[in-house]
Structure 1
Amino acid sequence: MTIKLPNLQNIRFCFLFVLFLLTLVTCDGGGGGGLKFFLGGGSTPPTVTNSSLKVGRQGYAGLPTGRTLKLGSLYASSVNQYTMVITNTSSESITLSGAPNYVILGGSHSDQFSLTQPTSNVLSASATQTFTLTFSPKTLGVKKATLKIVSDDPLSSNFLLNIEVTATPLPGPDINLSYGDNSLTSGVSNLNFATSSGTTQTNQLTIYNIGDQDLTISNTSITGTDSSKFSLSALSGSSTIVSGGSRTISITFAPTSSASYSASFNIQSNDSSSPFQIALNGTGTSGPVPNIKVSYVNNSSITEDATTGTGHTFSFGSILPGASSSSISVTILNSGTANLTLPSTPVTLSGTNQSEFSVTQPPLLTLSPNSSTTFTIKFSPSNNGSKTAKVTLASSNGDLGSASSSAIDLSGVGGSKDVLIQWNNAKEKDVNKSGGGFKVCYKKGSTFTAEGDSGVTCTNVPWTSGSYAPNSKLITFTSTGTYYVKLKSYSTLNTGSAFSSQFSINITGP
């Protein structure tokens, strides 16, 4: 006896991809038989509602795969911990994969989250495991991350949960200081100057109030050994700055000889952390000199100064092998008083996976004072797994006339894309009991006739409980290309019906 799904041979399949949207499309054949699939990936996993695993905060109902857990609004300066619970709602044991990291953290703001791992990767029927999720916001606004759990759950082997939380300012006034696009940190940041002896250089700063009450500036001053070489302008407006408002103030450096100078800039206010203080470093030169500034927008959407030092990083996240990420742009600015010279190939890549990344060279190799140019970086993984490299920018005279070098550490993951395949329930009772179910088979690049053909991958979707066998399966594809997919039912009375009509899915990046 051959068991066939209703109208399975007549099913028509279709696929719709709208730029930047992930859209579910249902296509039916004659008589109501039908199959639908959903293309997912990146930071927006597909919505699946029939996973055996559920994950949620302790004391709250767990969520199935594809859902979003919203943790509300929290103060930006706080560190918040949540006990998370993984629950196996099925009647069979489930094993988590990927030791030692059974729960994988990802998403656009994953650098502001951290987690511990469950103590065991085996969940017996109805059992639970816990882990801790910590949120330490670095900036204000909505922060998003994802939790991924790979397991042998027959309903959904790739569990994906979105996390959303909003970082809000503390009550009261809250001062923030920036130079251009660079945010400055009290007690940590430096403001650098370089100009010829007998001339001046002026840098303008912006004072923001990111609190929810008025910020009152009571005093601004320059102190320190060489304070006489620096001078302050007046604030650009009233000393009271409303919530969300700002004022500008300028600092002028006037060296009298070829030497190094240092001082401190101080802001007294009604901010609870007052005073706000940054170091001032000035270099007087014997003549005009170039001064290189290298910056890029980091993963926290903050412009980062990567001119000197270490610890400058950028993560491209998960990109499907065969696809490429969007490019990030790095800006090179000459803030000095003479021409800045770059070598013929100023940007180079190094590191374990340098071939997985690519760079462009800046179009300008000579920068006059106050002019800039850019180069770009892109991630194009050839296979799955974590990738790292380093990009280095060299100049001939960017460090006040001496050679300079700036570096950014790069990372990315050769990831995967999920397709949720769904079909109508089978009415044949043998499919909907122990030993019955469905089988989804697929092959990349060409068609096939049997599940044993070369290059064919098949996965079973067995009946586990209830009136019907599951009518969906989340398939994870690990590279771009065209995949051909077929479906059949099976039972203890028959190893499988004839395959359904073939359909194809074009998996594209990122």
Structure 2
Amino acid sequence: MNLKKNILIPLLSLTTLVACPGGGGGGGGAAFALLGLGGGGGDVPAPKLEILYEGVSRESGATLNLGSEPINTADGKTGTVTIKNSGNVAISLPGSPNVVALSGTDASQFTVTQPASSTLAAGASAIFTLNFKPTSIGVKTATIKIQSSDAAVGSFQMNLTGTAEAATPRLAVSVGATQIASNGSYGMGSVEIDSIGSAVTFTVKNTGSAVANLDGPPAVTSSNANFVLNLAGFPTTLAANASATFTIQFSPTGAAEVKTSNIAVSYDGALAFLFTATGTGTPKPVPTISISHNSTSFTTGGSIPTFGVVWPTVTSSTKTVTISNTGTATMTGITLSKPSGHTGDFTISAFSAGATLAAGASGTFTIQFAPSTTGARAAVVRIATTNGNNGAASSADLNVSGTGKTGADVLVSWTGTNEKAANDTDGGYKVCYSQTSGFTAVHNGTTVLCADVPNAGGTTPVSKVISVPTFGNWYFKVYSYGKYNTTGGTPSTQTSAVNVPST
């Protein structure tokens, strides 16, 4: 019997087809067998060891180059290695006596600071440090091994190398525990413009193995005068592993902005430790004056609306002036004065806030006009401060004006009783007036005033506009006179008092 096998492989099962020929002329038969391979699956929980140096994952057998280091330095050169469990169950690091075992030809030139734990949970990390501190010149090599429960990498190995150079000086700079990287930067914080920040102490250490001959003086330089150096006591040489200090004060001027300075610590003629100091100059709180009257700004001075016409000896209504401090600091030395003009005709009140005005506060004073005589009158009112111009002194002049009133018109009318015929040209009328009731109608130029209304022929005038020189009650009498009766007739009955207002 011939046996033929056909093997079919579908996605999730294996089918074996066996065909047997029929006998005795009969038809053939067929048999089928279906074998399942099982279903489901997924990753089996396991630890996974990962080693990173300078943020890069390293393979077992890789070489870590720690670079160059002078011989016999106090600190050596340090690198940090991370052990990470990238798996989904805890990993153990069973190395004994050390998790990280160091060996090799130049193992004595390297040291290892062990990780804090020999067990890492899923996703956890631990670090250990490598230190290269050579004692003789040349390329140095060593090996580190890490045992783990990762079945795929039970023993992780890395090769170490470093180059030992001749003894030489090397400077490092720090602030407290903060080490500043070569060509790095250090932030000095924020300081108000035109203010002096706190002194920050920088430590310069010779981490090399030979004396550093500091250049200068000065050995330390700043490219920006806003960063003030104090090098008092700074030495001219620095022995291996020795330190010295200097200070920088950030004292910004000019615009409120970020400011930078290139700091250089120079040594041995051609060498330098370089870094950048940065600081932010913030706006300095200053007072800022604002002056207004009736919602109109007079901060830079100007002419306020006139007081108009006012009788001498009468005091006008008040005009109110507002002084505000729109800045961020107290305004001081506020004064009001009348430096020029008819100063006696204008009065100013005291400023309601006194000589100082807090930030955001306001105060007022008033001006009044009391003319001493008739006609145009003007003066200057000056507002001054010691720091109202954004910290500088300020001064603004307000021009004030008014007019002393010369008279008020009163229309006096009467019934014609002239001494001659209407067509005669001699004679006329006298209109006498006084502020005294029952006065005698004789002009004296002070308490009694009289005005002629001469008869010029034709229609006899029976009225006259009289301009009285001041306000108050005025009394009037009218009488006629002629060529041959110059004393005139009997004065008219006194009129009722006419009140001339003071405004």
- Give the TM-score normalised by the residue count of structure 1: 0.40
- Give the TM-score normalised by the residue count of structure 2: 0.40
* Larger relative contact order (Cα-Cα within 8 Å, sequence gap ≥ 6): 1
Q: Which of the two has higher C-alpha Rg?
A: 2
